Every structure is written in structure tokens, then in C-alpha cells.
Amino acid sequence: MDQVDEKNSLRQQLRQVLRSMSAEQRRIKSQAACRYVIESPEFAAAKVVMVYLSMSQEVDTAAIALRAWQEGKTVAVPKVFMSDHSMLPVEIQSLDTGMKTTPVGAREPDVGQPMPIDCIDVVLVPGLGFSPTGQRIGRGGGFYDRFLAQASFGGTTCGLAFEEQVLESLPMLPHDQHLNMLITDTGYRRFHAPVSAAHRAH
């Protein structure tokens, strides 16, 4: 089995793991994971945070966005373009207004001000699976790998997941991006020195 086939097989397994979790389990675990994000020094130092708008089986990021606004931070979310599998970060000021649902069932901003990628301090990265060393396997579109590979991005990449999504190792392809840190409902894992917003120009 080559790495592509291995990845696809793992995706099926991980989707089943997520499906087997109850809504109540996801709610409790999401609250715990979000608390770890909010309490992290990376979040505290950030002026601009990019979150994803959660799908039903993902860690719910709503609490993170709300806390960011309470602390005067700017919140951006991705707007995706299927034609070239790219993402544009767009500033939002509400989780409800100005949103639309994409054909794959994800929510994204219908309108909004694009956010320069070099202004983003922390990106919360979703995925199907993660490893204890910063590897990640997504849903197969390559959106985040392309986005995070851009030379102008210098922020902290933080995977966000349930602990059930962490596997000992994952097959990695050359274009796959490693993460700086991973937060789950059980705590933090850091893989590289975090980038402090205080040391970056805006």
C-alpha cells in the first residue's frame, strides 16, 4: 500500500472514530480543548487569530472566537475556492451573520474584509488525524497545506482535535505541513518554539 492509499484508509478509520462519538462527548471535549487554547500563551499574545468554522464532528471553535473578540483580538476564518483548492482568510465579527453553507456542508463568510496572511499570529488547524510529533492528515483537499506553505505566513500553526484523533504516526507526503503545536481535550503538545506576536511586525 503506498502512502496515498494508506492515507485514504486512515481517513476512513478516523471518520468512523468521529462518528462513534456522541454529541455530548463532543460537546464536553470541545469545551476542554477550547479552554486549553484560550489559556495558552500563544493565544494570549496573538492580535489576529484564524479559526475554522466547525463542522458537526469537529472541535467546536465558537468559544475561542467569542473569547478572542472579548479580548479585542481580530478573528479571521477561511473562505475556500474549489477551483484551485486555495483559502482566503476573511475577517468576521459574528459567527451567524453574513455566512453561507458550501456544497460540502461547511460554513464560510459570504462577504468580508480579506486578512493579509502575514498579519495572522495563530491559525487553528482542523484535520482528521494528528500525530504526537506534529504530523497531520486532513480531509484530502490540501487546502491547509497550500495555505500554510505560503512564504508570507509566519504565525503559529496549532492543530485542534479530540484526543481520539491522535495516532502514533501518520504517512506524510513532501507537501504536507508539520504543525507548531497540537491542542486536544487532554492538553498541549508543542513541536517547535512558538512565534510570539510581540516579536512580529504588523
Residues 167-191 pLDDT 10s: 988 887 777 789 999 999 999 999 8
Whether 196 has a pLDDT exceeding 60, the answer reads no
Percentage helix, strand, coil for the chain under 3-state DSSP, each rounded to 5: 30, 25, 45
Cα-based distances in Å from 86 to 12, 174, 195: 24, 18, 24
pLDDT by residue (tens digit) across 55-82? 889 999 999 999 999 999 999 999 988 8
Phi and psi at residue 119, to the nearest 5°: -90, -10
147 neighbors 180 (Cβ within 8 angstroms):
no
| CB 169 within 8 Å of CB 156 | no
> Can you tell me the distance from the alpha carbon of 157 to that of 122, in angstroms, rounded to the nearest whole number?
6
> What are the distances in angstroms from CA 102 to CA 30, 115, 140, 141?
23, 20, 16, 14
Cell of 171: 504517512
Q: How does pLDDT run across 110-137, given as a tens digit for each residue?
A: 888 999 999 999 999 999 999 999 999 9
13 three-class SS: helix
Q: Convert 103-117 to b/e letters by CB count within 10 Å (16 or more is b).
A: eeebbbbeebeebeb
The neighbour count for residue 120, using CB atoms within 10 Å, is 24
CA distances from 146 to 27, 59, 109, 174 (A): 30, 22, 20, 12
In this predicted structure, what is the pLDDT of residue 200? 41
Residue 1: is its pLDDT beyond 80?
Answer: no
What's the rounded Cα separation, in Å, for the pair 26 and 59?
A: 7
All three cell numbers of 83: 477551483
| pLDDT at 158 > cutoff 70 | yes
What does the block give as the cell for 131? 500525530
pTM: 0.89
| Average pLDDT for 87-99 | 92
Estimate the crossing angle of helix 23-39 against helix 62-70, to 10 degrees: 30
Task: Note the pLDDT tens digit of each residue in 12-29.
Answer: 999 999 999 999 999 999
Q: Which residue has the cell 463542522?
A: 55
Structure confidence at residue 65 (pLDDT): 97
